[in-house]
Amino acid sequence: MPAVFAILVPENNDLYRILYFVHLLTAFAAFGPLFLYPRLQRAGETAAVARLHMRLVFPALVLMWVAGMGMAGVGEISLAGTPFVTATIVLWLIALVASWFLIRPALTEPDEGARSKMAMGVGITHLVLVAALYLMIFKPGGYEFTT
């Protein structure tokens, strides 16, 4: 079978890998569009940004957590005993709060106050992205497993 069809090879298709795929896909969807928000808002595209946020970005953020928790479950990784996972869950919560309480209310109100709230929300989310990526990839402190 040509290598491009690697996804069809049974050993590549286990639950962990599928969750991994979903985790990364949703991370792109949850963080990527935020880079465009301020520009879209300035261009008067408030309805489009609001739709994007509520239909794609916010659900992707939630699904990313579901897939991450699934990976931890399947991989028998201890949530409380593995520092990089515990810390990322806290960071994810911060991103969720910023997304709901800072970005979402600012989406439909294009005044100055809303704009600075949005900028703060986007800034916080980007810091979370950098810190979470570092933790997820370098895994400081290593793993603790449940079994």
Among 49, 52, 60, 71, binds ligand HEM (CB under 6 A): 71
The reply on whether position 133 binds ligand HEM by CB under 6 A is yes
The C-alpha angle 6, 31, 135, rounded to 5 degrees, equals 75
HSE, CB side, 13 Å, CA atoms: give it for residue 65. Answer: 15
Q: Could you give the 3-state DSSP secondary structure of residue 145?
A: strand
Task: Choose, by CB under 6 A, the member of 41, 88, 99, 125 that binds ligand HEM.
Answer: 88
* Chain-centre distance for alpha carbon 109: 24
For 49, list phi and psi in degrees, rounded to 5: -65, -40
Interaction between residue 19 and ligand HEM (CB under 6 A): no
60 forms part of the interface with ligand HEM (CB under 6 A): no
Q: Which is nearer to ligand HEM, 11 or 112 (CB)?
A: 11
Could you say which residues in the range 93-112 bind ligand HEM, by CB under 6 A? 95
| Backbone phi, psi, residue 33, to 5° | -60, -25
Positions touching ligand HEM (CB under 6 A) are 23-24, 27, 64-65, 68-69, 71-72, 75, 77, 85, 88-89, 91-92, 95, 128-129, 132-133, 136-137
